[in-house]
Structure 1
């Protein structure tokens, strides 16, 4: 992270994070509180190691991370990750068309699993199809891999389509409040703005998905599937860069669910700040590090028949 981004964060979070000295002890300086939180998010070191490295107590290190994430979520998130307005939508559309030849496309949507320890309550709901416990991060990115909508915290067992329907994005889109009324005539058809999703998502007027490959696709349908598949890679790449830059998202997190959700949203904000300020992304970060995704498949919990029915229906 550059000094410019660091000072930007400190300046905006100063009212929420800065503490006053008391008669009993000197407060931890603002910049040190921010550094402690950033170090934890970027390395996923244990709190004991973080406290030793920065010369603070374990509880102080925990408080620094908690307060930092809460402040970013409340102050920076509404500023850095927002639903684009008319002029911005036009810019996003031009970027997608220039890069992948897809007119009227303004984003790509997908979900990613964030590892957690099994919660004490309703733990079966968080057991995902990959064989470990997680919450889901749903995100929409632009052609440059920047998040313009994020939604996190739902159990990992939920299907992507179900997560979408439970998000504010679905409500906005269904009420026709998501995109400005910008239509373009394409081959005699008035086409509005839309985002791209994979086969898991429902087909709507504002969300395009690939044709199901039944072995009888026309040449035009195959070209469409190929182009949209290439464009959707941008959201997968964004998740990869997010997790490798902020490695707290790669290892099982032992915090409570609300804290994990706050950390996920904070990392999304930090991702946008680093990407928009041209911060270098090193390709060696792509090499699996010391915090791999969970690779141990525990015994699957007893399936919830009601939830399983919902899942099959969505498929």
Structure 2
């Protein structure tokens, strides 16, 4: 018999003796039961119970009751502690099992055995769900980065490191979340992320993000836009996008935190891209905080300086109503009207019929870059809420743009695009140094508008 049972029997015996002392004419139990219960008590308790006074019996009965409750509580705590220990062991085992699914050996088995047992559509769908791109595109990225990763003497295999970073970019995982999954320290995950994104943004950028200068590509691009807009010689569409950053990433720069508050009410850095008709970026710039206007970011970009200095020479001009029109990009009213950048006559459709027609077609061309940005943020969800250090934000954003181009060139299926907020910026003012480009751009825009109206009206 355990301790709690002995205490309970003693308490029962005391209660029976107490009852008999107070009222000896009646018995709660038969003499056999009373005798049987009393036999379980000690000698000291028997002598105490033989007393003619009821006070000792009451005291001893209460003591037994408290002893019983105390013993029961100890047993309950032991049981609860045992259950907690078992739960902790189960949690540790589950975490170990989860991390083992992302170990190097599990990844190696996937890439060398399991992946090839799947049919191609299933294989590509699996990799897209995990890493944002198909297996062939993944291997292309690994092959191009492997020499640089090997030179860095990283202790992890190149393809494993690339897969881990792509998983973070695709799903927006934090370094802490990825660290627990891959059984690594968070600082190491951040270090690997910074290394891979830096390589993408520097080593692969020149290969996959190029201004369409070659005649073949220039003709292909302008024809693509003309099929879409009926406007000649468009070679790209420009737009900006705010990449949200968390307040935690700005703690190290308290003096400049207000500069990151964008017009939509959150902290961000500003991305500027130019896309072609296939939604492939041919210029990317991340040089401004979220509080900067699109036109200011544009004027601070290398692209602007090359265009304003005529450093970029597009060898393709068309004659429109006596005006030589060279290739130009299109943007909304947040950008200045220049000879190489066409913008709408009116942001609200208040122009003449020919002007409104031109604006509508121009905005159809501009929508290409809006769609491209939506695909960029839909594929690489880390850009929906950037969780890297603010100093590494630009290279992470550019790296995602490089990966976006890889996917577009490989004709990867397009994901559900991210919906950008409606544009609500103010029209850009023309600087004194831009006046000649503005006046020339104004005459070109009017010629393009009149020509478009005449051509479409005669159909």
Q: TM range, normalised to the smaller chain?
A: 0.7 to 0.9
CA distance in structure 2 between the aligned counterparts of 1:215 and 1:32, rounded to whole angstroms: 53
| Structure 1 residue 56, shift from structure 2 partner | 2.6
Match of 2:141 in 1: 9
What is the SS of the residue equivalent to 1:82?
coil
Matching residue within 75, 79, 90 for 2:219: 90
Distance in 1 of aligned mates of 2:195 and 2:220: 35
Cα distance in structure 1, aligned partners of 2:428 and 2:234: 29
CA distance in 1, matches of 2:358, 2:234: 13
Give the equivalent residue in structure 2 for 1:197: 331
- Point out which structure has higher relative CO (alpha carbons under 8 A, 6+ apart): 1
1:243 aligns with 2:372: no
In the TM superposition, residue 37 of structure 1 has moved relative to its aligned partner by: 0.5
Equivalent-residue separation in structure 2 for 1:19 and 1:86 (angstroms): 34
1:258 is displaced (CA, Å) by 2.3
Gaps of 5+ in 1: 294-310
Alignment of 1:1-315 (within 5 A): 1-18=133-150, 27-87=155-215, 88-118=217-247, 119=250, 120=253, 121-212=255-346, 217-251=351-385, 253-283=386-416
**Does the Cα contact within 8 Å between 2:270 and 2:288 map onto a contact in 1?**
yes
How many Å apart are 1:272 and its aligned residue?
0.3
Call closer, same or farther: CA 1:226–1:67 in 2, change over 3 Å: same
Aligned-CA RMSD value: 2.3
Question: Could you tell me how far 1:117 is from its partner in structure 2?
Answer: 2.8
Against the structure 1 CA distance between its residues 227 and 15, is the aligned structure 2 distance closer, same or farther, given a 3 Å change threshold?
Answer: same
Pairwise CA distance, 1:254 = 3.9
SS in 2 for 1:18: helix
TM-score with structure 1 length normalisation? 0.85
Higher helix share: 2
TM-score for both structures, normalised by structure 2: 0.59
CA distance in 2, matches of 1:280, 1:4: 14
Partners of 1:202 and 1:129 lie apart in 2 by: 19
Structure 1 residues 46 and 218: CA distance shift in structure 2, 3 A: same
- 2:336–2:429 contact (8 Å) kept in structure 1: no
Deviates more, 1:257-266 or 1:105-114: 257-266
Count of aligned pairs between the two proteins:
288
Q: Distance in 2 between matches of 1:213 and 1:33?
A: 47
Higher gyration radius (CA): 2
Q: Is the 8 A contact 1:108 1:141 kept in 2?
A: yes
